[in-house]
Amino acid sequence: MRYHNSNPTAVPRTLKEVRQWRRERAGKMKQKDYSYRVPVADPDLIYLHSNNEEPSLTWIGHSTFLIQRAGLNMITDPIWADKLAFHRRLSPPGLAITDVPPIDVILISHSHYDHLNIATLRRLTGSKMLIVPLGLADKLRRKGFSSVIELDWWEKATFRGVDITFVPAQHWTRRTLTDTNASRWGGFVIENSGSPTVYFAGDSGYFDGFKEIGSKFRDIEVALMPIGAYDPEWFMGPQHVTPEEALQAFLDVGARKFVPMHYGSYKLADDTPREALDRLEAEVLRLGIDRESVRMMPHGETWRLNN
């Protein structure tokens, strides 16, 4: 089984295009300034290990968030890897993996290595129910994970009163030379009574699906949106939003708060963390978006969502 985007023209890049990108970036990357580091806050470990009621959100780095609600510890796309391919991590995780409270639910948006890190999954403690895209469950069971729920777009799992809906994204997947698009990709909407609804977008290019998500979930409080790995846009456009497109997606889904992610941890494309943030800030000003709507989180900071 091979999966496809709702936009049939959004397909993985060809080997010829990959080679063209590599030729173009060879000289350009030498001029890039990677001196900026995402700020790191001291994590509130006492709170994180004792919180059984209050909804909270902690950015660990990249696309990894610890989400606490209804007594559950949930984590998105967990990765603590020191490097990806040949690139070392740019900024440390905001929370040491040994300090993470026991995890009840792990949400995996897709199978790319910076979102599905097997070594990290094994090191996390807790009961660890994995909620993954359609096509990934068998792979993870072969890796030794017995508690796995597989979802297709718009399907929902309910775990101890928390509804988790897998929603579309525009992306692709591959872990080997032969498994391109052998599993789905997407994001998650997390909701339960008494807690703000959170939308975790995963990885995505800009597409009409953001408006559809907004029409189906009319009370999204927080949108966790990627802003990095967009350059060069001719190559990355179908799979990664630009900072400007991320803000448009935020408006499309009708969320009240925007939290940027997927920047500052790894070199995945030709943009730098500072470039992504500068473009984001300029677009917030151009669109006249209330600055209070954009929450810039340091690694390790915990946001108590009812405050």
Per-residue pLDDT of the chain (307 residues; tens, 9 = 90+): 899 999 888 888 888 888 888 888 877 777 889 999 999 999 999 999 999 989 999 999 999 999 999 999 999 999 999 999 888 999 999 999 999 999 999 999 999 999 999 999 999 999 999 999 999 999 999 999 999 999 999 999 999 999 999 999 999 999 998 999 999 999 999 999 989 999 999 999 999 999 999 999 999 999 999 999 999 999 999 999 999 999 999 999 999 999 999 999 999 999 999 999 999 999 999 999 999 999 999 999 999 998 7
How is residue 283 written in tokens?
A: 């677009």
Ramachandran class of 38: left when φ > 0, alpha when ψ lies in -120 to 50, beta otherwise: beta
Give me the pLDDT at residue 32, please. 87
* Residue 274 resides in a domain: yes
Listed in sequence order, the residues at least 6 apart from 69 whose beta carbon sits closer than 8 Å to its beta carbon are 55, 56, 162, 190, 192, 195
* Residue 159 resides in a domain: yes
Give me the pLDDT at residue 25, please. 80
The amino acid present at 167, given as its one-letter code, is: V
The answer to pTM > 0.95 is: yes
Which residues sit opposite 198 in a β-bridge? 190, 222
CA separation for the pair 232, 89 (Å, rounded): 21
* Residue 29 resides in a domain: no
Sign of the Cα pseudo-torsion (231, 223, 10, 76, in order): positive
What CATH number should be reported for the domain holding residue 74?
A: 3.60.15.10
* Residue 31 resides in a domain: no
* Residue 170 resides in a domain: yes
The DSSP output letter for 298 is: P
* Residue 295 resides in a domain: yes
Number of domains in the chain: 1
Helix, strand counts (H, E) of the chain:
8, 15
Give me the pLDDT at residue 47, please. 98
* Residue 267 resides in a domain: yes
* Residue 17 resides in a domain: no
* Residue span of the structural domain in which 63 resides: 42-304
Give me the pLDDT at residue 298, please. 98
Contact assessment for residue 145 and residue 71, using Cβ atoms and an 8 Å cutoff: no
